A and B are shown apart, each in its own frame.
Chain A
Amino acid sequence: MKKLNRRKKVIIWTVFLVLVFLCLYACGILIPEDVIASDFLDAKHMPSWKHPFGTDALGRDLFFRTLKGLSISITIGMIASAISAVIAILVGISVAVGSKPLDSLINWLIDLVMGIPHTILILLISFALGRGLKGLIIGIASTHWCSLARVIRGEVLQLRSQPYIAISRKLGKSSRWILVHHMLPHLLPQFFVGLILMFPHAILHEAAISFLGFGLPPEQSAIGIILSESMRYLSTGMWWTAVLPGLTLVCIVLLVDKIGEHLRKLIDPYSAQE
């Protein structure tokens, strides 16, 4: 087979990822509740053709629960990382453009947020906001912007010292015009890579918090919930209740992470040699 270059690989993987996401999202909407209703006659079955991921202790089909769980994960991941990335770009730009005290204040805030382990912080925020979807999204969004904000701040500071920015000002262009026309084209690639690499973090944290019981309510079929329920039955030999949903989540995470890494290398060719 002909060797594909990185650009083509990214395109193929991205198309594949978008298809997977669309399917999962459609599954989340289209799968009716009665497919995953409990059926005690059918409980505790190994994976089979009828139930590809087996059934849990209440007789619910794990395959469809996993699909539904993933569609929730994806929704949360996308909303939370999008909010986070927007916060990051706003903070990054305002820090770099604003005054010195603002810069030190926000740098301090970034250090503070990064200093506390994410899981604990999300757990606290989610708990304080009454758990559920809202608590999770706000929790994840308000903790993940830091590192991207730092990258963007650095980039803006570096751009500001470029001669062509100073020349543009002397040609009578306003700060806003320079921000939109000179700076944003340099920042957007960083922004998108940051956004994509943030997504796996967001859904893993969502699963972790739900697993610990501080996220989504137990009646929702999120991956974290499925995993935490399966803990009780693992000792009885029902390995499939934990392994198969967990593996599916890991696959999705790895897929997104891979695309993010490839994109980063495309944008910053120097790091490709590492």
Chain B
Amino acid sequence: MALEAKNIYFRYNRKQAWILQDRSIKIEKSQRLAIFAPSGYGKTTLAMLLAGYLKPIKGEILLNNMPLPRKGICPVQLIYQHPEMAINPRWKLKRVLDECGTYNADIIDTLGIEPAWLDRFPAELSGGELQRFCVARALISGADFLICDEISTMLDVITQAQIWNVILRETERRNMGVIVVTHNRYLADKIANQTLDLTV
């Protein structure tokens, strides 16, 4: 099973320059790829394209040589950079977890989500606490690839380590592919077994 971007071109509107030009990426299941570049090189755009949140202008995104499914649980899940925008502000966090169906109580526990948080609204938790919910949500059963778009940028080091440990353990157990988008080269080296530099 492989996730593949074939010669994709993308720009947000016609007046702008191309953000991605003739870019191809292939990642096998169980592989961990780090995408590394300074700001403005289209890391987030590439992540959104691979997860199907955006459509490439030219080229195609293929999963097992097929386009991404339009309905049902998407096998490619993206974790956003800003957890506070990725959670409905009017929902208690219990509902956020319920939205992805049956979740693994073990993951909740190892992510350090405390039961008291479930009865709170998103505005009552910090960014790091919310990001744990986003991670738990993205590890929905049926996901084969996980794209992490700078998910640990705003977290303190201990929380970062905790979250990455859970992600690595869980993706290894389920044999998932991981794409890590990051500014941090040390993190990229530590986590991924392959790096892609968009500046090249």
Q: In the complex, are the beta carbons of A167 and B86 less than 8 A apart?
A: yes
A8 within 8 A of B: no
Q: In the complex, are the beta carbons of B71 and A172 less than 8 A apart?
A: yes
B78 within 8 A of A: yes
Q: In the complex, are the beta carbons of B73 and A166 less than 8 A apart?
A: no
Complex: how many Å from CA A185 to CA B92? 12
Q: Which of B87, B99, B137 has the most CB of A within 10 A?
A: B99
B176 within 8 A of A: no
- Across the interface, name the chain B residue whose C-beta is closest to A166: B53
- Across the interface, name the chain A residue whose C-beta is closest to B82: A163
Contact with B along A155-166 (1 / 0, CB 8 A): 000000011101
With a CB–CB cut-off of 8 A, which chain B residues contact A6?
none
A18 within 8 A of B: no
A171 partner, pick from B82, B87, B100, beta carbons under 8 A: B100
B15 within 8 A of A: no
Contact A170 B90, CB 8 Å, known A163-B80, A164-B85: no
Q: In the complex, are the beta carbons of A170 and B85 less than 8 A apart?
A: no
A186 within 8 A of B: yes
Contact with A along B97-114 (1 / 0, CB 8 A): 001100000000000000
- Across the interface, name the chain A residue whose C-beta is closest to B68: A170
- Chain B: residues with Cβ within 8 Å of the partner, total of 21
Q: In the complex, are the beta carbons of B88 and A182 less than 8 A apart?
A: yes
**Distance in Å: Cβ of B142 to nearest Cβ of chain A:** 8
With a CB–CB cut-off of 8 A, which chain A residues contact B99?
168, 171, 173
With a CB–CB cut-off of 8 A, which chain A residues contact B71?
172, 174
With a CB–CB cut-off of 8 A, which chain A residues contact B87?
164
Interface residues of B in 31-55 (CB under 8 A from A): 51-53
Complex: how many Å from CA A239 to CA B137? 70
Complex: how many Å from CA A166 to CA B88? 11
- Across the interface, name the chain A residue whose C-beta is closest to B88: A164
Interface residues of B in 108-133 (CB under 8 A from A): none
Interface residues of A in 176-216 (CB under 8 A from B): 182, 185-186
Contact with B along A107-141 (1 / 0, CB 8 A): 00000000000000000000000000000000000
Q: In the complex, are the beta carbons of B100 and A170 less than 8 A apart?
A: no
- Across the interface, name the chain B residue whose C-beta is closest to A171: B100
B140 within 8 A of A: yes
A164 partner, pick from B51, B78, B86, B142, beta carbons under 8 A: B86
Q: Which residues of A contact B (CB under 8 A)?
A: 162-164, 166-168, 170-174, 182, 185-186
Q: Which residues of B contact A (CB under 8 A)?
A: 51-53, 71-74, 77-78, 80, 82, 85-88, 90, 99-100, 137, 140, 142
- 5 nearest A-B pairs in the assembled complex, by CB-CB distance: A172-B73, A170-B74, A172-B72, A163-B86, A164-B88
- Ordered by A's residue number, 26 sampled pairs between the chains whose C-beta atoms are within 8 Å are A163-B80, A163-B82, A163-B85, A163-B86, A164-B86, A164-B88, A166-B53, A167-B78, A167-B86, A167-B137, A168-B99, A170-B51, A170-B53, A170-B74, A170-B78, A171-B73, A171-B74, A171-B99, A171-B100, A171-B140, A172-B73, A172-B74, A173-B99, A174-B71, A182-B88, A185-B90
